[in-house]
Amino acid sequence: MTLDREELLRMYRTMVCVRQFETLAGEYFAAGKIPGFIHLSIGQEASSVGVCSALRSDDFLTTTHRGHGHLIAKGADLDRMVAELLGKRTGYCKGKGGSMHIADFALGILGANGVVAGGLPLAVGAGLSIKLRKTDQVVVSFFGDGASNRGPVHEAMNMAGIWRLPVIFCVENNGYASTTPVARACSVPDLALRAAGYGMPGVTVDGNDVLAVREAADQAVARARAGQGPTFLENKTYRIRGHFEGDPQKYREEAEVQAWRDKNDPLQRFAAVLRKGNVLTQDLQQGIWDEVEAQIGQALAFAEQSPYPEPKEALEDLLVNP
Amino acid sequence: MTLDREELLRMYRTMVCVRQFETLAGEYFAAGKIPGFIHLSIGQEASSVGVCSALRSDDFLTTTHRGHGHLIAKGADLDRMVAELLGKRTGYCKGKGGSMHIADFALGILGANGVVAGGLPLAVGAGLSIKLRKTDQVVVSFFGDGASNRGPVHEAMNMAGIWRLPVIFCVENNGYASTTPVARACSVPDLALRAAGYGMPGVTVDGNDVLAVREAADQAVARARAGQGPTFLENKTYRIRGHFEGDPQKYREEAEVQAWRDKNDPLQRFAAVLRKGNVLTQDLQQGIWDEVEAQIGQALAFAEQSPYPEPKEALEDLLVNP
Amino acid sequence: MAERRLSASAALAEALREEMTRDETIFILGEDLVSHSGIFGQFKGIPENFPGRIIDAPISETCVAGCGVGAGLTGMRPLVDFHFSDFVTCAMDELCNQAAKIRYMFGGQVKLPLVVWCPDGAGLRAAAQHSQSLEAWFVHTPGLKVVVPSEPADVKGLIKSSLRDDDPVMFFQHKRLFAKEGPVPEDADFIIPLGQAAIKRPGADLTFLTYGSGYHLCLQAAEELAAQDILAEIVDLRTLKPLDMETVAHSIQNTNRAVVVHEACVTGGFGAELAARIQVELFDYLDAPVLRVGAKDVPIPFSPVLEDYVLPSVAEVIEAARAVTYR
Amino acid sequence: MAERRLSASAALAEALREEMTRDETIFILGEDLVSHSGIFGQFKGIPENFPGRIIDAPISETCVAGCGVGAGLTGMRPLVDFHFSDFVTCAMDELCNQAAKIRYMFGGQVKLPLVVWCPDGAGLRAAAQHSQSLEAWFVHTPGLKVVVPSEPADVKGLIKSSLRDDDPVMFFQHKRLFAKEGPVPEDADFIIPLGQAAIKRPGADLTFLTYGSGYHLCLQAAEELAAQDILAEIVDLRTLKPLDMETVAHSIQNTNRAVVVHEACVTGGFGAELAARIQVELFDYLDAPVLRVGAKDVPIPFSPVLEDYVLPSVAEVIEAARAVTYR
Ligand SMILES: Cc1ncc(C[n+]2csc(CCOP(=O)(O)OP(=O)(O)O)c2C)c(N)n1
Ligand SMILES: Cc1ncc(C[n+]2csc(CCOP(=O)(O)OP(=O)(O)O)c2C)c(N)n1
Ligand SMILES: [Mg+2]
Ligand SMILES: [Mg+2]
């Protein structure tokens, strides 16, 4: 399936949006405006956008501690996202969640998760619910290379496998789990090799090539919608920022990061392709960056001007029937 | 490596011992002499004996709720085993454990486990301890086809894989997990297919052919002792008895059981091989059965005559320093 | 009209059949459910009458629990069967970090209808890993409701409210009580609201606060005590969270004495929470300390003599009653 | 001689270096330990000085805990780092069904030296899944010891006893207290026996029973109360299991009033157990009910205003002290 011009530009624009959002979040954190800790996905935009652009708004998604990109790519509201990062009442979770706990159930976003691999069993449950409700929705569960070694991943893939659930297991192999290089934690070079153990297709793609990711995602989504079951998709990418903002990063050389930043930036790569195909012009590109910058600037303003919750609101939202 | 006559006879004798132990345990349970519930391994003797006969007495073992055979094959004391099943003070655990919780740390038996797949992480820990203590011991962790779907199996295999620990993951695929046929619970036909996902060799063998199991076990043990890391061994076998004694077994046809009992009995098959090779004669075979019967009769007598613990003993053995 | 009597198992199955008929988003997920209608036969009639709505899962408690959460968040009302309550240990993240916190963490965006059905308790000579009573862990976890019925009618009334509730409910049913019979209303609309205790036996001298299997110990104890002119009132809490403190208070305001009885081991058990609240909220009414009767602080041993010694006994309940009444 | 002051982190690292030098069967297993000496820098100097004895594990809390059990059963003395105490939820079977029960189930055949080190507590704006205080679950699990130090010297003395102990120990150290400094003995043989509470501030009017971060709330409260002539005695429990009830009793026999303070949410927290015991064992000494101060019964929210409101405060501790002293 080939993508039309609008779609290609929409994808590029979304990637720019993720990049700018993360960049500004980093600056706000450095400026002490964001409490707690945040995990940025700069350098991984092709994965979030390549996969999510293949989804419908009624499809489901579970994401991780590094989930801003997935949320944006699935259509989350920037104002409410920033407000949540700042702990404001206008945030997605009224300030109760923060960066690691943003969800938008109206968009099928079942939530980021502070527990590594915590989202996969939930995704399988959503997949089972789809099967029981007899809809043609699909579920994507994002997780990292580090998460891939946790037990729930195994249980989730096996259950999705035997029941042929419409679940796409998308591992973003970004080279590190916190301080730990993937090779020191994972007993296989390509995580997609594990898919065979669950009778599902496993695909490893260049996770910084948004079109390659999109193509793999389209196939996985088509399979799932057709009731042919789950797919394991491994997007090989790289985490440009520290694990969390403020990470001393003694576990890697700056040169390694620099090499990825210079030679393998997903936005630059996609822009080059679009320019070559005359989809993108210098002006258009600049226009997109400016437009996104304005949009995010607006979100930041909205968030800054929003009030903090009242202390007593901490006692709300626990139960439907207390 | 070929096995000498003594070894072959020792293996046959052990299989007979497991068979008779389980048979009598079943009768005692039916007679109401064994409290709680017990899970018998009749029909799986080739797996326990084939694997354990490849081990040294200082090697480690973790087993399951269906562990009598593994214990006997590793050399456990029959008197103390029966006494434990009866809840007597002379039992392995002074009556605190029962059928599902027998261990003999002097023999490297780190315990049966009431939690399915509960033994695997412990086995990995023993493997790590071997590596840290720099000995050439190995660990075997038995588990079932049902257990293979639990998360700890995944975590354990990955850890053993990256650290090349001397652990042998031995799954006894006996066709069912309680009421559930393996095909309805496992997303792959051969569980050994999963080994590739951890960079370790995976072997599927005829689990009712004790010599085939032994050969595979010898290779796995050799690999482990040589520091070449873990092996995944799948013994395809069949559970002749119910999941537990008293199991209504509505999930399978008696004819299926009958077929395995008649055509694929591991003791009969091994006896035939030994007879053919003139290792076993009619008399010798009869002698072995009689001798084992006497030994088990003695164990039963010992257990029956042993006293129950005093109620207050329930408060002992919790902590070393209360 | 003669009261109809059912076993606790039958009461559960009847309630499920009624609710599953009423609401087709309800389904049951767990291990070994279909061929034997649950390993305790607790789902009798469900597999035949609701094919596809009672599902056998692989042995994957972690994912089974998470699956319940994911399905509950997306339009279904799952009942997850935990096989043995001891195995909640394999899904504490899904139950306590996910199910309990999701609605709160996400600012009340979503509701999570989910019933986690856990057969618990000892007495079956099933030893340390198949005999536990772990309700106290969940009482200490904000975001979960905790229900522990003692009699068949409570099972029916409470499982129905749990299934109709929009919050996650931990439902503990004692294995040894499945076969125990009692009167059960036939009315398909019979429900017992969560958070409502019941005074099951009136008495003026002391109050037994109990639930689950403890209730039956108290009943026996109360009868023996009555023969000694000590009249014990029995409050069956039924729901530990939300807790019906009002009924507890009324009873103690009359009796001025209380004994908490449960099967879980004493240290850190629910009795601690209850005693701690009572000695504050009813300080001026208490003529004696609130005593606790529960299992001794060891794992449940296998051998019958040992297990019987570790579990709370009628004798211990009576002794506690005598102590608080100074008789 | 001037007392040497260390941060809680430095005290931990020093104790570990001393013990690992003394006993080469000790090793550390957990996630992300080597390159940054633990994600909180809590193992400073260990990677350099004990190569191969501090091991980075994959993200596999279940197996990491089980690994600790298996290694502890086979001649090693593992310290397992849990990264964030919230993730004990991923290993409750290994901790509570295996580690806690193994010695008992097997009739005392074996000992299990194992320290499970859990950085816990809130205040870092880390939200619901990275801020919990879960010690009460383990107090309710026979077979485990539970240690919760509050000051650097306690950290050193208690981690050393824990590492020398032959039973599994859950060791909770508060994340917000890592950098807090205090005097720490240099003596390599300085240990604090498990089960020994400390009266850290004498007072005649009431007793604060506390541990971990609660201690620091009590200290501040005690100072403010002193200005109002209310003299609070502070008993830092340090070990919750085994519990030093003797020291608790002595203090209350003098003050006749007690307030339990901890960071965990109140309902079902350790304060319940303590209050329940005190109102029985010291019934005749109490001039007021035992009050509990702890977090409100919700998950820990992210936004600073909300988190601060949910966590116990010095003001609440003072209010409770006033209430029990009727002033
Ligand atoms: C169960 C669990 N263990 C540990 C952590 C702490 N932690 C948070 S993120 C992280 C690394 C995750 O690595 P990966 O899955 O590769 O995702 P990435 O950060 O690379 O996107 C760790 C160890 C956690 N949140 N949950
Ligand atoms: C974690 C856990 N879940 C469920 C059970 C209940 N249970 C005991 S044995 C068993 C079936 C195990 O099947 P399998 O692993 O194939 O071993 P087999 O019984 O066939 O030897 C189940 C479900 C358990 N003991 N532990
Ligand atoms: Mg990663
Ligand atoms: Mg099986």
Q: How many Å apart are CA B44 and CA B285, to the nearest integer?
A: 20
Type of residue numbered B280: L
Q: Is the CB of A26 under 6 A from ligand 1?
A: no
Residue-wise pLDDT tens digits, C224-265: 999 999 999 999 999 999 999 999 999 999 999 999 999 999
- Residue of D31, D59, D87 to test ligand 1 pocket, by largest number of atoms within 8 Å of CB: D59
Mean pLDDT of A88-106: 98
Q: CB within 8 A of C253, min separation 6: which ones?
A: C282, C285
Residue-wise pLDDT tens digits, C31-87: 999 999 999 999 999 999 999 999 999 999 999 999 999 999 999 999 999 999 999
Residue-wise pLDDT tens digits, D142-180: 999 999 999 999 999 999 999 999 999 999 999 999 999
Residue-wise pLDDT tens digits, D190-228: 999 999 999 999 999 999 999 999 999 999 999 999 999
Q: How many Å apart are CA D228 and CA D247, to the nearest integer?
A: 26
Is residue A312 predicted with pLDDT exceeding 90?
yes
Is residue D3 predicted with pLDDT exceeding 90?
no
What backbone phi and psi angles, to 5 degrees, belong to C243?
-100, 135
Q: How many Å apart are CA C319 and CA C323, to the nearest integer?
A: 6
Q: How far is CA D265 from CA A128, A313, D292, in A?
A: 35, 17, 10
Predicted confidence band of residue C315 (pLDDT cuts 50, 70, 90) = very high
**Min Cα separation B265/chain D (Å):** 33
Q: Which of A57, A95, A91, A96 is nearest to A77 (CA)?
A: A91
Which atom of ligand 1 lies nearest, measured to the CA of A115?
26
Is the separation of the CB atoms in D10 and D39 below 8 Å? Answer: no
Is residue A169 predicted with pLDDT exceeding 80?
yes
DSSP code for B276: H
Q: How far is the CA of A65 from the centre of ligand 1 (A)?
A: 8
Query: Coil, helix or strand for A141?
Result: strand
Within an 8 Å CB–CB cutoff, is residue B193 touching chain A? yes
Is residue B273 predicted with pLDDT exceeding 60?
yes
The strands making up C206-210's β-sheet, listed across from edge to edge, are C198-201, C232-236, C206-210, C258-265, C291-295
Q: Residue D21 has which token pair?
A: 């030098």
Q: How many Å apart are CA A231 and CA A166, to the nearest integer?
A: 8
pLDDT for position A1: 55
Q: Is the CB of C211 under 6 A from ligand 2?
A: no
pLDDT for position C3: 85
Predicted confidence band of residue A193 (pLDDT cuts 50, 70, 90) = very high
Q: Tell if the CB–CB gap between B151 and A150 is shorter than 8 Å.
A: yes
Within an 8 Å CB–CB cutoff, is residue B117 touching chain C? yes
Is the separation of the CB atoms in D279 and C154 below 8 Å? Answer: no
Element (DSSP H or E) covering residue B84 = helix B78-85
Is the separation of the CB atoms in B229 and B195 below 8 Å? Answer: no
pLDDT for position D327: 87
Q: Tell if the CB–CB gap between D136 and C139 is shorter than 8 Å.
A: no
Is the separation of the CB atoms in B166 and B229 below 8 Å? Answer: yes
Is the separation of the CB atoms in A16 and A267 below 8 Å? Answer: yes
Residue-wise pLDDT tens digits, D250-270: 999 999 999 999 999 999 999
User: For residue A1, how many other CB atoms are within 10 A of its CB?
Assistant: 8
Q: Is the CB of B243 under 6 A from ligand 2?
A: yes
Task: List the shell of residues around ion ligand 3, using CB closer than 5 Å.
Answer: A 144-145, 174, 177
**Min Cα separation A153/chain C (Å):** 9
pLDDT for position B1: 54
Residue-wise pLDDT tens digits, A141-154: 999 999 999 999 99
DSSP assignment of D247-315 equals HHHHHHHHH--EEEEEEEESTTSHHHHHHHHHHHHTGGG-SSPPEEEEE-SSPPPSSHHHHHHHS--HH
User: For residue D17, how many other CB atoms are within 10 A of its CB?
Assistant: 17
Q: Is the CB of C316 under 6 A from ligand 2?
A: no
Residue-wise pLDDT tens digits, C165-176: 999 999 999 999
Mean pLDDT of A163-175: 98
Mean pLDDT of B212-225: 98
Mean pLDDT of B199-215: 98
Predicted confidence band of residue A161 (pLDDT cuts 50, 70, 90) = very high
Whose C-alpha lies nearest to ligand 2, atom 12? Answer: B177
Q: CB within 8 A of B134, min separation 6: which ones?
A: none
Q: How many Å apart are CA D205 and CA D222, to the nearest integer?
A: 11
Q: Which of B133, B134, B124, B136 is nearest to B162 (CA)?
A: B124
Q: How far is the CA of B73 from the centre of ligand 3 (A)?
A: 44
Predicted confidence band of residue B229 (pLDDT cuts 50, 70, 90) = very high
Which atom of ligand 2 lies nearest, measured to the CA of B44?
21
Within an 8 Å CB–CB cutoff, is residue A110 touching chain B? no
Active site residue C140: no
Residue-wise pLDDT tens digits, C77-115: 999 999 999 999 999 999 999 999 999 999 999 999 999
| Chain mean pLDDT for chain D | 97
Q: How many Å apart are CA B83 and CA C91, to the nearest integer?
A: 35
| Chain mean pLDDT for chain C | 97
Q: CB within 8 A of A121, min separation 6: which ones?
A: A152, A155, A156, C62, C63, C65, C66, C67, C69, C70, C94
Is residue C2 predicted with pLDDT exceeding 80?
no
Is the separation of the CB atoms in D191 and D157 below 8 Å? Answer: yes
pLDDT for position C327: 87
Is the separation of the CB atoms in C175 and C311 below 8 Å? Answer: no
